[in-house]
Structure formats: structure tokens, C-alpha cells
Amino acid sequence: MSSDRRPTTRRDFLRATAAAGGALTLGSLPFLAGCENTSPSSTPIDFPDPLLDVSSASTRAPLRMPATVAPTGLTLTAAPATLDLGGGATSPGYGFNGGWPGPIIRANVGDAVSVQLQNGLPEGTIVHWHGLVVPHLADGHPMQEVGPGGAYSYHFPLVQRAGMHWYHPHPHQRTGRQVHQGLAGLFIIDDPADAALQLPSGPYELPLVIRDGRLDATGQLEYLDGTSGHPGNAVFCNGVRDATVNVDTTRYRLRILNACNTRVFTLRLSNGASMSLIGNDGGLLANRITVSSVTVGPAERVDLVVSFAGRPVGTKIMLTSTSGGTTFNLLEFVVTRVVSPSGQVPAVLSSIPRYQRADAVRTRSFSFDGAMRINGVPYSMSRLDFQVPLGDLELWRLTNANTNTGVNHPVHVHEAHFQVISRTGGRNSVFPWEGGWKDTVLLEPRETVEILIKFEQYRGLYLLHCHRLEHEDMGMMSNFEVV
Ligand code: C2O
Ligand code: CU
Ligand code: CU
């Protein structure tokens, strides 16, 4: 690991902890001087959800696919860019290698990743690999932020099963802004077990970054600082506003990331057709499940197979999201070519060992409270909140303490995938898309969700936080160390 700004090593970290007389603090780390958390001075307001502008829905722009690149010797430059919003519209923003989303990074289990982040932004940044199991120094912790003109080198092996993950900035208190302005991309891991299933592939596999964004009166991406949530007024699929894609009469694998700062999507097809749910955050589920809708919070992924077989040429089917009684259109499929259906959707997809509640060696409780606190305290970069022994199975009880507001918390853990075992209050059930392995789970108001989690790969400092990015930036985040 090398960097123009020497990050801490685990040994330094422990020494600093010891030097502080056993108190769990990171404050004595020299490069953290001046980095003490500053909470927003005024209470942030939650601006009302703007009505999505669907007026342009009659003129839809072709979906595009970002370039696919390998993570070996890759340079990823984060820099101001003119973003192509599709349909001839552009906006100033930020891009990875000039685009939004950034390139699709794709590799096989076992591959060695070596990526150089170049910071071409006028502000500090650092990249986090959401969903990837990586050493602390490659995790994009905000303490690893590099300034304008700086660089950071990431080197790590891909040690986990196939799945679709993503990369995005994680600087202290500016993650929401940087992601909203265009910095995010997919990271797909393949393995032989996934390939052997002969799921729809090639042109029939569509990785989709779906998100909203706020456009100002002149149609440019505009981020409002100091809010506790940032719902947009326009929707984008792979960066294209009101996208459309031509499809053949066959099965498609739709690999979907909700890359919104704040908004939750409940996805369905406009013709009411059922979909096969095959995977989520941590890769394939154990079994195929037939669903008519899926709810995907910020940072969550769903892997779906849909079929256009037998649909007449000219048929238009919309991928929609319905929330609070409003339906809006995310992506239009237009059947344009008759082919004989290909691609399988086996009933049995993978084997997932089930963690057992009885095997958990301890229980921890986390209360997500207001917009900036976990267990009553806002994030401090210089405070270590808890330590988890490597290899211990733990039960974590996550509670949304915002009982009187509609505010939800998509809770995310770095470094390990977990299993969701219960939800009480609110929606009161664990949904099919919450089976298998998760790294983010949605807490609606009044909900308590129990997860079983075990860190098995690396010791070091990682993060637990709300992935409603405005909450994360305001302090709904904790440092923990795997020891
Ligand atoms: Cu996608 Cu710590 O985040
Ligand atoms: Cu993450
Ligand atoms: Cu939150």
C-alpha cells in the first residue's frame, strides 16, 4: 500500500489507542490533528420530497452502458466533468474518468486489484469499495482522504464470491455532495459458480445504476448542503435521464443498484409481470424467488431476471417505482426483435450456510436516532466506538429511533456481509430480497432489525453508518475495529 499521504497502520492505530491510556480514541494519531468532528452548526432541515418531473417522459433517451474495465493497473480519476444526462442534455458535475456512472470494474474472484485514485477535484476525496471485503488501508476510510492533486493506491485481492458492488467517495462530511454530483460506479465480481448457472449474459445482462438527482431550473445537477435528506426531482438510469432500451423477446438479467442519496425505490414492471429475484448485495440467493415488486433502499442491490418472451414487437414495458402513491418511470423497455429465448433461471442458485441465532456469542444494540447520531452520539473520526473480535458471530440489533417521523435509515456495515434474521415493528417481516448476504438493510420508522454478522477476513478499523448520505455526513456513523 502506498500513498502520497501515509495512512496509519494497524500497529500505529493500536499504539495510539494504548497511548491514550486505554481509552478508545484515535485522537493522538498525528495526521488526525484538526480533524475532530465538527457537527453542523444549525439543525438541518429535511426539505420536502419534490415531485418528480415526468413531463419529459414522452421523449426518452437511449440507455447507455459505461465501459467495462479490469481493476489491474487501473487509474481512476475523480474530476470535474461535463456529464452527459442523455437526450442532448449536459450538466457540470463530477465524474470518474469523465463519466457518470464511472467505468464498470469487472474481475474474477482471486484477481489482484491495483487501482490508483487520482484526485482531480478541487476538494479532498477518497474512494470506498462498497460491498468489497478489503484491508482497512484499502477501505476508503475518511481518514485516508487525499487532497486536490493527491493520489491513493489500492492493492487487494478479491476474496469473496461473485456479486455486484460499487465504488463511491467517502470523504468526511462531503460524501453526499460528491455522490450526487456524479461520483459512483459498479464493481462486478464473477466466479465459476455464477457462470455455470447460464443466467442471461452478454447483451442480456444489464448492470443498472438507478438514482434520482436534483436538477435546478436550468437543468443542472444541484446539491443543497445542510439538508438531512436529498430526494431528487429527476431519475437517471446509468446517468441517462428518462432512459429507454430496446430489448429482444428473451430473458434479461437486470443487476440493479439504488445509488440514490436518500430515496427508496419499490420496483415493478408496468405490465404487472412477475420477476425472478436471484440475488442481492452479497451475490446470488440460495433459491430463485418469484416477486411482483422489490423494495431497494439507498446502496442496496437486487439481481432480477425478467422475460420479454412472447411480447409483440413494439410492446413498451416500464420499470417503475411507486412510493407514497406516486409512480414514476425509471427505465422503458421496447420490444424490438424476436429471438428464441435463451438464458436459464435455475430454481437453486447457490448454497448459503445459515447463521444460527443460538451461535451468536454476544449481542450489540445500535439506535439510529434523529439525523446524526448512533447510540446518542454523532460520529467522531478520532473516537473508536467498539471492537469486534475476528471470527466471532455476533447479533446486532438495529433500531430506528425516529418513531414520530417518516425518516428511514438504510444501515450499512463495511467489511462483512450479514444475514437478516428478524424485523419487528413497522413492516414486521424480513422480505425475500433480504435473504442471502446483505451489507445494507433498510430500517423504516419504528423498525428493529436483527442481523447476524461475523468478520472473518481482516483486522482493522471499519465503519458502520446510515447510507442516507446526508445522515452519514452529519454524523450517523461509527468507527469500529475488528481485533
Ligand atoms: Cu457505500 Cu461507507 O459506504
Ligand atoms: Cu461500504
Ligand atoms: Cu439515517
10-194 carries CATH number 2.60.40.420: yes
If you measure from the C-alpha of residue 134 to the centroid of ligand 1, how many angstroms do you get, rounded to a whole number? 13
Show me where the domains of the chain are located: 10-194, 196-337, 357-482
The top-level CATH class assigned to 196-337 is mainly beta
Q: Is the CB of 414 under 6 A from ligand 1?
A: yes
Q: What is the C-alpha to C-alpha distance for residues 272 and 354, in angstroms, rounded to an integer?
A: 33
Could you give the C-alpha distances from 158 to 113, 279, 284, 390, in angstroms and in order? 7, 19, 17, 19
Q: What is the mean pLDDT of residues 415-436?
A: 98
**Average pLDDT over all residues of the chain:** 90
**Band of residue 8 on the pLDDT scale cut at 50, 70, 90:** very low
* CA 230–ligand 3 middle distance (angstroms): 12
Rounded distance from Cα 129 to ligand 1 centre (Å): 8
* pLDDT of 57: 56
**Could you say which ligand is closest to the alpha carbon of residue 257?**
1
One fold for 196-337 and 357-482: yes
Pick from 166, 258, 171, 176: which is nearest to 222 by CA? 176
CA distance linking residue 425 with residue 245, whole number of Å: 40
Measured CA to CA, the distance from residue 480 to residue 414 in angstroms comes to 10
pTM score of the predicted model = 0.91
Ligand 1 atom at minimum distance from 168 CA? 1
Position 3 scores a pLDDT of 36
Cα separation, 41 vs 205, in Å, equals: 46
d(C-alpha 285, C-alpha 47), whole Å: 37
Question: Is the CB of residue 211 below 6 angstroms from any atom belonging to ligand 1?
Answer: no
pLDDT tens, residue by residue, 57-107? 568 999 999 999 999 999 999 999 999 999 999 999 999 999 999 999 999
Indicate the pairing of strand 234-237 with strand 240-241: antiparallel
Q: Which fold has domain 357-482?
A: Immunoglobulin-like (2.60.40)
pLDDT tens string 162-189: 999 999 999 999 999 999 999 999 999 9
Greater confidence (161 vs 406) lies with 161
Residue 38 has pLDDT above 90, yes or no: no
- Residue 471 Cβ < 6 Å to ligand 1: no
Q: What is the mean pLDDT of residues 286-296?
A: 97
Ligand 1 pocket residue status of 468, Cβ below 6 Å: no
- Ligand 1, atom 3: closest residue by C-alpha: 130
Per-residue pLDDT, 36: 34
Taking only the tens place, the pLDDT of each residue in 451-468 is 999 999 999 999 999 999
Residue 101: asked if its preceding bond is cis (omega within 30°), the reply is: yes
From the CB of 165, is ligand 1 less than 6 Å away? no
User: Rounded CA gap, 194 and 160, in Å?
Assistant: 13
Question: Exposed, middle or buried by CB within 10 Å (0-12, 13-18, 19+), for 57?
Answer: middle
Query: What is the distance between the alpha carbons of residues 460 and 412, in angstroms, rounded to a whole number?
Result: 17
Considering every ligand atom, which ligand is closest to the CA of 405? 3
pLDDT at 55: 44
Q: Tell me, in angstroms, the distance from the centre of ligand 1 to residue 354's CA.
A: 25
Does residue 299 line the site of ligand 1, with CB under 6 A? yes
- Name the residue type at position 272: G
Q: Ligand 1: which residue has its CA nearest to atom 1?
A: 130
pLDDT of residue 115: 98
Q: Are 193 and 283 in contact (CB under 8 A)?
A: no
